[in-house]
Homo-oligomer: A and B are copies of this chain.
Amino acid sequence: MSVLTALLHTNRKRFKLARTTKELIKDRARFLGPNVATFYEEPVHIVRAEGVWLWDADGRKYLDCYNNVPHVGHCNPRVVDAICRQASTLNTHTRYLHDGILNYVEKLTATMAASLNTAILTCTGSEANDIALRMAEAVTGKRGIIATESTYHGNTSLVSQLSKSNVPSVGFGLDQYFRFVEAPDSYRNPDPDGKRFAQSVAAQIEAVEREGTGFAALVICPFFLNEGFPDNPDGWLIPTAEAVRKAGGILICDEVQSGFGRTGTHLWAHEKMGISPDILTLGKPMANGHPVGGVVANADIVAEFRKGYGYFNTFGGNPVSCAAAMAVLEELEGADLVNNAKTVGDYARGRLQRLKERHEMIGDVRGSGLIFGAELVLGRTTKEPASAFTDRVINEMRQRGIIHSKLGRHKNTLKIRPPMPFSVENADLLFDTLDDVLGQLTAHP
């Protein structure tokens, strides 16, 4: 018997082709540890996907209104082909010369303002944000980071500190450098020109300067996706960007969720909000699920970061990752998916507005392009969040074959964020079902 056969002594017969749901849940706890969350009261066991559709182990079909990672559709043939072709040709690191990474960064940065001309490719959005914060420290010589209070920017020791709503119990004391401002809330606390938000940022800048930490950067998702995508008009972030620049700080836009045309009107949400960040971070949809993230900034900022620190990422920017990411850009272009996001998004919000006329629980309808949803409330006057009810809606929708979720500070906003090929027909199925579910759950509270 070979050394390895002896070492790999697992009896293959123990692997079932597919575990039952109960066995899957048990084995998750056994192999991945306790408290590893799943979605839904009755978790789904998805085995196959295509476009905007998911199938579970029993052959049941679900409409995917949630997943923004398979941006150009689950198992998109152009992306799959690109991955297969490159994986069978060459997959190596960036210490060798290769056209793939250069073609991709050229095409990517050509879609942005001239100042965003240089990129570092990583494997995750977390890695990208981790670099962005260090770039800000390198450029400003300071460490104070300001973010909004209910957001998420990743899972490394450093960037997990940005998530006040999921604050780590450990983290090497890094919390000392982070300060938070309230996220905008167009429904409960309107700030139509963004001046109040800019003032709250300015106040935190003053506080970190006064304390001696010094102000390094503001990090925001320009569309505040995790915080309920408030209905801010185009150009809303201009006063905030001015406050950051006036203080000599760095403006980091995390477009891991809002980028690549999600909002329908612009490829990048920071353009929609009227600003140009110093540093832009990217992730999730970048390569349709292949692990790719990136940081885009001016060459001067990248040089300052690299000065005295030879950042290298073994897998980052490898030929397969770049082929997958390039295929996503090509598919967005070829299938005209940003326009589709606008058209279908407009239609979907129209249907949601009409549902609002029929259902008292719908307090507010918001969104742009293929990020949209409704805030569910116990009363339109009190605007009291219907958080528990929202949970019931999501679970009932899942039972009826529609996959979506919730978000926002009160976890009462329906989070609808489907793959970009989502169609008017898909929206009809979603809202016909939602209409029915809201009616049923309101009748039987």
Binding site for B on A (CB under 8 A): 2-5, 7-10, 14-19, 21, 24-25, 27-28, 30-39, 43-49, 54, 67, 69-70, 74-75, 77, 79-80, 83-84, 87-99, 101-103, 105-107, 109-111, 117-120, 123-127, 130, 133-134, 137-138, 143, 155-158, 160, 166-174, 177, 261, 265-267, 283-284, 288-291, 299, 302-303, 305-315, 317-318, 320-321, 329, 332-333, 336-339, 342
Contact B18 A99 (CB under 8 A): yes
CB pair A303 B130 closer than 8 Å:
no
A303's partner among B15, B28, B35 (CB-CB below 8 A) is: B35
Q: How far apart sit A125 and B320, CA to CA, in the bound complex (Å)?
A: 18
Among A45, A95, A138, A313, residue most surrounded by chain B Cβ atoms (within 10 Å): A95
Q: Which residue of B lies closest to A96 (CB)?
A: B46
Residues A124 and B123 in contact in the complex (CB < 8 Å), given A4-B337, A7-B338 = yes
Decide if A308 touches B168 in the complex (CB within 8 Å).
yes
User: In the assembled complex, which residues on chain B have CB atoms less than 8 Å from the CB atom of A317?
Assistant: 32
Given the known inter-chain contacts A170-B309, A338-B3, A338-B7, please indicate yes or no for A37 contacting B95, CB distance below 8 A. yes
- Contact check, A342 vs B3: say whether CB atoms are below 8 A apart: yes
Interchain CB contact under 8 A, A291 and B173: no
Complex CA distance for A7 and B113, rounded to whole angstroms: 11
**Residues from chain B with Cβ under 8 Å of A16 in the complex:** 99
State whether A320 touches B137 (Cβ < 8 A): no
Check if A320 sits within 8 Å of B290, measured CB to CB. yes
Complexed CA–CA distance, A89 and B80 (Å): 10
Identity of the chain B residue whose Cβ is nearest the Cβ of A298 in the assembled complex: B33
CB distance from A94 to the nearest CB of B (A): 7
Q: CB-CB < 8 A to A284: which residues of B?
A: 314
Q: Would you mind naming 9 contact pairs between A and B with Cβ atoms under 8 Å apart?
A: A7-B111, A10-B111, A14-B106, A18-B99, A30-B118, A46-B97, A47-B90, A156-B157, A170-B309
**In the complex with contacts A49-B92, A96-B44, A169-B308 CB distance below 8 A:** yes
User: Which of the residues B67, B83, B158, B314 comes within 8 Å of A156, measured between beta carbons?
Assistant: B158
Judging by beta carbons under 8 Å apart, are B170 and A110 in contact? no
Known: A91-B289, A96-B45, A342-B3. A299 touches B34 (CB 8 A): yes
In the complex the two chains form, is A289's CB within 8 Å of B92's CB?
yes
Q: Is the CB of B123 within 8 A of A90?
A: no
Given contacts A4-B337, A8-B267, 7 further A-B contacts (CB under 8 A): A15-B103, A32-B102, A32-B302, A34-B306, A83-B83, A83-B84, A124-B314
- CB pair A4–B91 under 8 Å, yes or no, is no
Cβ contacts under 8 Å, A5 to chain B: 333, 336
Closest Cβ–Cβ distance, residue A335 to chain B (whole Å): 9
Set of chain B residues within 8 Å of A101, measured between Cβ atoms: 31-32
Q: Contact between A97 and B172 (Cβ–Cβ < 8 Å)?
A: no
Q: Which residue of chain B has the shortest Cβ distance to A23 in the bound complex? A: B102
A8 and B333 form a contact (CB under 8 A):
yes
Query: In the complex, what residues of B have CB within 8 A of residue A288's CB?
Result: 91
Rounded to whole angstroms, the CA-CA distance of A337 and B306 in the bound complex is 38
Residues of B within 8 A of A261 (CB): 3-4
A8-B331 Cα distance, complex, nearest whole Å: 12
